[in-house]
């Protein structure tokens, strides 16, 4: 969903958006444990012998199984659809194993990161999964650190953090309502990046606490909320990237001639590819089979209103001299033409091309672009830019999601 702040511009009419006009309450009643979030940390635990530096309690669905002292090692493994535990000379078999700190104020650790709440070890088709269960607001603080940590030390960025906290809460509540799995969210960009607890980030804690329980609604329903690192000055219509239709508050808009997000590191970027690089991308993504090819041309066939590329066309010739044509559509371009600089997705589809030819064949091509991410919804760096001009989080949300209103989750 999300691509973080690490990790174009066509001047359009500036859109004036007013702050949300009223505050409503909406009951979140999908589950009784509505404030509990279950985050998948590892879908195949490799190291099955563990210890913690604090006393912990092992539980199953019936209650306490045993206690483990600080530093005491114990092991577990998948067993006939459940989990088998070995603590010293004792063995236990449970459907799932919950690991809780003996003191609720203590933190659990995994792979060098600290986590609030509890862990659950469960069997998923013979593989052991590790899930972190914790309160919604504590989860959001971990998300804000991972997604917006760059804004966590400057007081003038607080309103941007608050706007993002509302967006992250919306996304989380949406996922909780949809969840039918053993967990609710992934801890990476498949949902929201979550890296556990970071006690020193007081500005992040303030942003979450000062917007506690606030979500965005549109026409009385939970708003579908997206965000990306930098929109390059123009957000994208949701229909052009995702399957959602008829969402007026995600119709795309301009940040104006002087884009708020131009303060983003790498706001403008370049990627240089050889013809061999492009052939490798097409082969790796299954657009062409392995073989001997030359590229005759690469061109942008059409753009969306935002300026992002809608159709990227590549003309090739195979080893037999037969012409071929490949067209890559919209945001898929970023997954096919990968960034050589970051070894990840291409930053954005808001780019121009500068091809170089040797005779009748393409030799090299330069992509010059702006922005980072799919561009739909909240622009994270744009929110920071607006916050630094003194705009409040309500105004920032109204700007990127016009027509939505703030509402409280009723516990």
How far CA 151 is from CA of 6, 87, 157, 201, 278, in Å, comes to: 12, 44, 6, 10, 36
Q: Say what the pLDDT of residue 31 is.
A: 41
Distance CA 144, CA 148 (A): 5
Average pLDDT over residues 54-80: 89
How do residues 357-375 score in pLDDT, each as one tens digit? 999 999 999 999 999 999 9
User: Per-residue confidence at 125, pLDDT binned at 50, 70, 90?
Assistant: confident
Average pLDDT over residues 201-220: 94
**Hey, how many other C-beta atoms are within 10 angstroms of the C-beta on 370?**
26
* Helix boundaries (H) for 149-292: 158-178, 202-209, 275-284
Which secondary structure element, helix H or strand E, spans residue 396, and what is its range? Answer: helix 393-400
How do residues 268-291 score in pLDDT, each as one tens digit? 999 999 999 999 999 999 999 999
Q: Say what the pLDDT of residue 287 is.
A: 97
Average pLDDT across the chain, whole number: 89
Q: Say what the pLDDT of residue 200 is.
A: 75
This prediction has a pTM of 0.86
Res. 316: pLDDT tops 70: yes
State whether residue 225 is helix, strand or coil. Answer: coil
The radius of gyration of the chain from alpha carbons, rounded to an integer in Å, stands at 24
Q: Say what the pLDDT of residue 4 is.
A: 37
User: Per-residue confidence at 411, pLDDT binned at 50, 70, 90?
Assistant: low
Bridge partners (DSSP) listed for residue 118:
133
Res. 71: pLDDT tops 80: yes
How do residues 27-61 score in pLDDT, each as one tens digit? 444 443 357 999 999 998 877 888 899 999 999 88
Q: Say what the pLDDT of residue 341 is.
A: 87
Residue among 344, 367, 346, 354 nearest 271 (CA):
367
Q: Say what the pLDDT of residue 1 is.
A: 53
Tokens 């539980």 locate to 59
Q: Say what the pLDDT of residue 243 is.
A: 84
- Of all residues in the chain, the percent with pLDDT exceeding 90 is 72
Please provide the DSSP assignment of 171-229 as one string.
HHHHHHHH--SSSSEESSTTS-------TT-HHHHHHHHTTTTEEEEETTEEPP--EES
Degrees, nearest 5: CA angle 343-345-348: 130
Total length of the chain:
411
pLDDT, greater one: 326 or 179:
326
Distance CA 157, CA 286 (A): 43
Res. 180: pLDDT tops 80: no
Judge whether 271 and 349 are in contact, CB under 8 Å. Answer: no
Average pLDDT over residues 392-401: 98
Q: Is 322 exposed, middle or buried (0-12, 13-18, 19+ CB in 10 A)?
A: exposed
């Amino acid at each position: 969903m999300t691509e973080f702040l690490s990790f174009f511009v066509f001047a359009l009419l500036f859109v004036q958006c007013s702050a949300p006009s009223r505050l409503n309450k909406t009951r979140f009643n999908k589950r009784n444990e509505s404030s509990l979030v279950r985050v998948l940390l590892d879908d195949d635990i490799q190291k099955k012998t563990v210890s913690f530096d604090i006393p912990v309690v092992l539980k199953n669905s019936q209650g306490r199984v045993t206690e483990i002292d600080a530093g005491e090692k114990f092991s577990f493994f998948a067993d006939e659809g459940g989990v088998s535990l070995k603590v010293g000379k004792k063995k236990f078999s449970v459907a799932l194993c919950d690991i809780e700190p003996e003191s609720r104020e203590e933190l659990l650790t995994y792979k060098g990161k600290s986590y609030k709440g509890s862990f659950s070890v469960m069997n998923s088709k013979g593989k052991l999964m590790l899930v972190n269960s914790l309160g919604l607001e504590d989860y959001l603080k971990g998300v804000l650190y991972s997604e917006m940590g760059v804004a966590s030390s400057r007081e003038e960025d607080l309103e941007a953090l608050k706007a993002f906290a509302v967006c992250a809460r919306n996304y989380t509540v949406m996922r909780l309502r949809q969840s039918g799995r053993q967990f609710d969210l992934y801890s990476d960009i498949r949902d929201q990046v979550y890296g556990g607890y970071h006690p020193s980030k007081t500005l992040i804690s303030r942003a979450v606490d000062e917007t506690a329980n606030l979500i965005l609604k549109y026409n009385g329903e939970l708003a579908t909320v997206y965000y990306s690192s930098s929109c390059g000055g123009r957000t994208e219509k949701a229909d052009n990237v995702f399957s959602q239709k008829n969402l007026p508050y995600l119709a795309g808009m301009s940040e104006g001639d002087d884009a708020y997000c131009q303060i983003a590191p790498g706001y403008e970027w370049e990627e240089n590819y050889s013809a061999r690089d492009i052939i490798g991308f097409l082969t790796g993504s299954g657009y062409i089979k392995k073989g001997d090819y030359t590229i005759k041309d690469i061109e942008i066939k059409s753009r969306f209103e935002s300026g992002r590329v809608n159709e990227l066309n590549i003309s090739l010739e195979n080893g037999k001299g037969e012409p071929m044509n490949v067209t890559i559509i919209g945001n898929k371009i970023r997954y096919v033409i990968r960034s050589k600089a970051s070894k990840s997705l291409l930053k954005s589809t808001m780019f121009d091309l500068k091809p170089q030819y040797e005779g009748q064949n393409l030799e090299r091509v330069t992509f010059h672009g702006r922005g980072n991410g799919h561009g739909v919804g909240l622009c994270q760096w744009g929110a920071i830019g607006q916050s630094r001009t003194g705009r409040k989080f309500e105004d920032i949300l109204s700007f990127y999601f016009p027509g939505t209103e703030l509402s409280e989750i009723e516990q």
